[in-house]
Amino acid sequence: MTATNATVRIDDAVRADAQALARHPRFVSLEGGEGAGKTTVLGALRETLQQAGYEVVSTREPGGTPLAERIRELLLTPDHEKPAPETELLLMFASRAQHVRETILPALERGAWVISDRFTDSSYAYQGGGRGLDAGFIAELERRVVGLAPGLTLLLDLGVSQGRERTRGRDLVFGQYVPDRIERERDEFFERVRDAFLARAAAEPERFRVVDAAHSAAEVAAAAVAELQTWMRSASRAALGSAAAERA
């Protein structure tokens, strides 16, 4: 089997696994590289939903529960032994499994919206694109361990050099710049991460919306809010159509 054929088979397997996941319309994820402005955008999305009268749970990965936050510390603190790529991936999914079961699913089940700063797409980008791990293996973990995908994913796309400059400037405001373990990677790593994110967005256009994060924070947040509002309208129409079909 040629390398091209192998890639096609892996891509087909990843797409098949993605189709098998439960996509929840009130679950929104934010993705992007370092310095893309996810924190600002998350706040704007949360405010928009709360003003519309919804309960909103905002969370992050790795993290989102006390146990998952402890795993986050293991993953990101540079003082620890450097994990092998496979160790990093499995720890990410251990954190995510806890996050889904203890935070995300209970919130969705009671009718809340959930906005997560990163979700499984980050594993495809960082451990898949960045570390070079097999996308098929990541897809199998996603299917078996997570079983859930966002209804909407906003990818805040930003050039690597601009993103890293923003990160340095942000951290210097609060004191000495101390990057975490992943932030210490070289630019080539983050270029691969960005390419992987964009490839996923191209492969799943019904879920992803790509937002140009090179603009000001206010402009990026406004663009993200507009995408959310468009998604809410389409999700409401779909729900009404489904209810009508059930009555018929």
- CA proximity to 213, closest of 40, 61, 27, 26: 40
At CA 29, angle to CA 148 and CA 159, rounded to 5? 130
Given this model, what pLDDT does residue 142 score?
Answer: 98
Q: How far apart are CA 180 and CA 152, in angstroms?
A: 28
Read off the pLDDT of residues 80-111 as tens digits, 9 standing for 90 and up: 888 999 999 999 999 999 999 999 999 999 99
Is 223's pLDDT higher than 50?
yes
- The burial class, CB within 10 Å (0-12 / 13-18 / 19+), for 95 is buried
Given this model, what pLDDT does residue 170 score?
Answer: 61
Query: Are 235 and 151 a contacting pair, CB within 8 Å?
Result: yes
Band of residue 149 on the pLDDT scale cut at 50, 70, 90: very high
Amino acid, single-letter form, for residue 46: R
Tell me the whole-structure pTM to 2 decimals: 0.86
Mean pLDDT lowest among 40-49, 51-60, 166-175, 219-228? 166-175
When the pLDDT of each residue in the chain is averaged and rounded to a whole number, the result is 88
Band of residue 34 on the pLDDT scale cut at 50, 70, 90: confident
Contacts of 38 (CB under 8 A, 6+ apart): 30, 31, 32, 117, 118, 156
Q: Where are the beta strands (DSSP E) in the chain?
A: 22-32, 56-60, 113-117, 148-157, 208-212
Is 27's pLDDT higher than 60?
yes
Number of residues written out for the chain:
248
pLDDT, mean of residues 18-30: 88
Q: How far apart are CA 142 and CA 101, in angstroms?
A: 14
